[in-house]
Structure 1
Amino acid sequence: MTKQITVRAVGGHEFLALLPQLAGTSLRRSLVCVAFRGSTVIGVLRHDLPRRMADHPVLVAAMVGAVCRIEQAEGVIVTVYTDREYPRSAAAAERRLIERASARLEDAGFEVRDGFIVASTGWGSVIDPTVPVRGRELELIDAAAAELPVLAELAEEPPPPSSDRARAARLRRRLVALREHGSIEWLQRELGGQIDPIELVERVLHEPAATAAQGAWFAELSASAVFRDAIVLQIAFGTSVGEIALQGVAGFSPTGDDAADASLRDASGGSEEFVTELYLGRTRLRPETKRVEAGIEFVERLLVDLPRSYRPGVHCVAGWLHWALGRGSRAGSHLDRALEIDPDHAMARLLDTYLGSGALPEWAFVREDERRELLGGR
């Protein structure tokens, strides 16, 4: 979150009523850290709760590291959202997580102003000795939320696109034909110049609806780790980065001749390290939001028509793209679906572990003026 908002909430229930609007999303199974300068909110960080307590130290380290990079942050409030009952015991996982996070934040020089737990049966502050055993009533938060002005649209997960039987049948026929007759000649006849992964990605980003052949070839490429990584990076950063990611792949040669693209390829040296840093978000070069949104729209429309066994790779693409825009919950949802279909899917497992650790991309902390500077004033 980049908008600065002065908070004048006088009670914990009022702060918690405001928090989903500050975060820009509904909050479930989350660790949320709000950073303040005085009474002004200058940053909101949200992480998915890990499934195991053993992963809490990694999560807290990631969160504290992120808070340390928020300029001029002085104080913080930590909140845990859980779908379990309000914890009565001091040894409960939610209380221990807040204690661990608070200790690490204080060690880093921040004033921890409060810690809240919002559970399925109640809520409370961990520093308030008057909280009932079962927590305070959730209706207090709901009532305060109803009186708040709307600061922003909540990023609720939209309903998935509806499937179409005829469209799904055409896609299924192309997938079967691709597996049976997937020679270069067949692909060229079906796709023309779009057999090239770079051309295919650009076409599906800029056309309202893909053909069955395009969807089938995209799904097939997404099943390959090398092509899948190149696809998400091309969607996020453009064709030149896609070409860099594909260098060394048999049968592929860069086709771009734009001077800026050539400069980027030269600067990267086509190195595997460069691609890895981009993929893990260890760069301050922010993805192009419109391209990422277009990519999400395409892959989520494709997923509803794909046969189940073909979906894990495409779910990985969707998960990474959501993560690139800071939508950790939606990213996690796609990875969960991939692992439900194929529990041994290597990339889904790796992404689930990495994103579940609370990893945030470097570009999440880039100010608008710095972003323009990185892009040469554009």
Structure 2
Amino acid sequence: MNSFSRTAIASPEIIYLPDVDEHLRDDVWDFMVAMVEDALEDDLLDDSDDDEREVPSGGALFTHAEAFVVIVPLLESCLARGDTDLSAVLVAEFALMAMLPAIPETIAVQVAFGRGAGEEQVREMARLLARARHRGLTVDEYIAQLSAANAVPRGKLVRLFHGETRRVPDPDRLKRGISLLRVLTALAPEPARPPLLCSIAWLQWAQGKRAVASAYLAEAIRIEPEHILARGLAVLVSSKAPRWAIPSAEEH
């Protein structure tokens, strides 16, 4: 039994997702199921946890750290390709990687601020991975410990994600990124949508569209009521605007 199910696209009264080819959406569903089943089978055959394997791709499995490296060029390739030339396997891989912790945040910030922001996140994750391994922990376990102690490093990505900069996101990349992510979300099975919806919501918030952002987050929470990122973003969106959207004192 798999954890995915075919579902209709969310109601346009709640959020906007484009119409997509139903056969392509079914193919995405089939690829994701096959990838998850392959991963489970591999885990049963190999009881070693040294690789921390999590995300399958074309017969191989990405570790969490590898997913951070892969998502950067994959996202740039998708942005360059546009939102109308996406294969089912590409969408399936993208959606699975987006389900890993911190990947949706990386996607959002990279769309807004360019490839360099994504590459900076890769370097930050490499440092976290090294510290985690030194302590005999996975990255997720180490971050959980830091969160419990309120000691998560506020690196460049975290500050950008919280809107703590005057640097203005690229308007063209925002537009193309939202369009791309809407198509990816529409093609993904419903249980895989919340992380992508969170990325879209952040990009809407980055444009100053807080009500629209809240609608996407409401849809993510409808699908997965306890989704940590969606609930955290809901607080961020409702409580503040990004600094780049707030006029400075010199502008008055």
After TM superposition, the score normalised by the length of structure 1 is: 0.46
Does 1:206 find its partner at 2:80? yes
Largest Rg, 1 or 2: 1
**Structure 1 residues 175, 252: closer, same or farther in 2, change over 3 A?**
farther
Indicate conservation of the 8 Å contact 1:229/1:245, yes or no: no
Residue identity in the other structure for 1:277:
R
**Structure 1 residues 313, 331: closer, same or farther in 2, change over 3 A?**
same
Paired residues, number: 190
* 365, 370, 375: which one aligns with 2:246: 365
Q: Helix, strand or coil for the counterpart of 1:287?
A: coil
Q: Equivalent residue for 1:226?
A: 102
What are the equivalent positions in structure 2 for 1:277-296 lying under 5 Å apart? 277-296=159-178
**Structure 1 residues 297, 306: closer, same or farther in 2, change over 3 A?**
same
Q: Helix, strand or coil for the counterpart of 1:225?
A: coil
**Quick one: distance in 1 between partners of 2:93 and 2:171?**
24
**Quick one: distance in 2 between partners of 1:169 and 1:161?**
16
* 221, 235, 238: which one aligns with 2:114: 238
Q: Equivalent residue for 2:236?
A: 354
Task: Return 5+ residue gaps in structure 2 as ranges.
Answer: 1-13, 39-54, 62-67, 130-152
Q: Helix, strand or coil for the counterpart of 2:185?
A: helix
What are the equivalent positions in structure 2 for 1:178-197 lying under 5 Å apart? 178-181=35-38, 183=56, 186-187=59-60, 196-197=70-71
Residue identity in the other structure for 2:111:
I
**Structure 1 residues 176, 327: closer, same or farther in 2, change over 3 A?**
same
Q: Helix, strand or coil for the counterpart of 1:360?
A: coil
Q: Equivalent residue for 2:194?
A: 312
Offset from partner CA, 1:313-357 (integer Å, 9 cap, x none): 111011001111111111111100000011100000000111112
**Quick one: distance in 1 between partners of 2:58 and 2:245?**
44
Q: Which has the higher helix share?
A: 2
**Quick one: distance in 2 between partners of 1:252 and 1:207?**
32
Residue identity in the other structure for 2:107:
I
Residue identity in the other structure for 1:201:
L
**Quick one: distance in 2 between partners of 1:329 and 1:363?**
18
Indicate conservation of the 8 Å contact 1:187/1:195, yes or no: no
Q: Helix, strand or coil for the counterpart of 2:155?
A: helix
Indicate conservation of the 8 Å contact 1:246/1:252, yes or no: no
* 75, 80, 91: which one aligns with 1:215: 91
Residue identity in the other structure for 2:80:
H
**Quick one: distance in 1 between partners of 2:56 and 2:210?**
39
**Structure 1 residues 184, 248: closer, same or farther in 2, change over 3 A?**
farther
Task: Return 5+ residue gaps in structure 1 as ranges.
Answer: 1-156, 189-193, 254-270, 371-378
Indicate conservation of the 8 Å contact 1:284/1:366, yes or no: no
**Quick one: distance in 2 between partners of 1:230 and 1:213?**
21
What are the equivalent positions in structure 2 for 1:151-190 lying under 5 Å apart? 159-181=16-38, 183=56, 186-187=59-60
Indicate conservation of the 8 Å contact 2:69/2:122, yes or no: no
Residue identity in the other structure for 2:200:
A
Q: Helix, strand or coil for the counterpart of 2:225?
A: coil
Offset from partner CA, 1:245-294 (integer Å, 9 cap, x none): 122436999xxxxxxxxxxxxxxxxx743221100001000011111111
Indicate conservation of the 8 Å contact 2:56/2:93, yes or no: no
What are the equivalent positions in structure 2 for 1:55-74 lying under 5 Å apart? none
Q: CA RMSD in A?
A: 2.9
**Quick one: distance in 2 between partners of 1:244 and 1:162?**
35
**Structure 1 residues 251, 200: closer, same or farther in 2, change over 3 A?**
farther
Structure 1 moving runs of 4+ over 6 Å = none
* 304, 327, 330: which one aligns with 2:209: 327
Indicate conservation of the 8 Å contact 2:124/2:155, yes or no: no
After TM superposition, the score normalised by the length of structure 2 is: 0.68
Residue identity in the other structure for 2:59:
W
**Structure 1 residues 287, 180: closer, same or farther in 2, change over 3 A?**
same
Indicate conservation of the 8 Å contact 1:226/1:246, yes or no: no
**Structure 1 residues 159, 311: closer, same or farther in 2, change over 3 A?**
closer
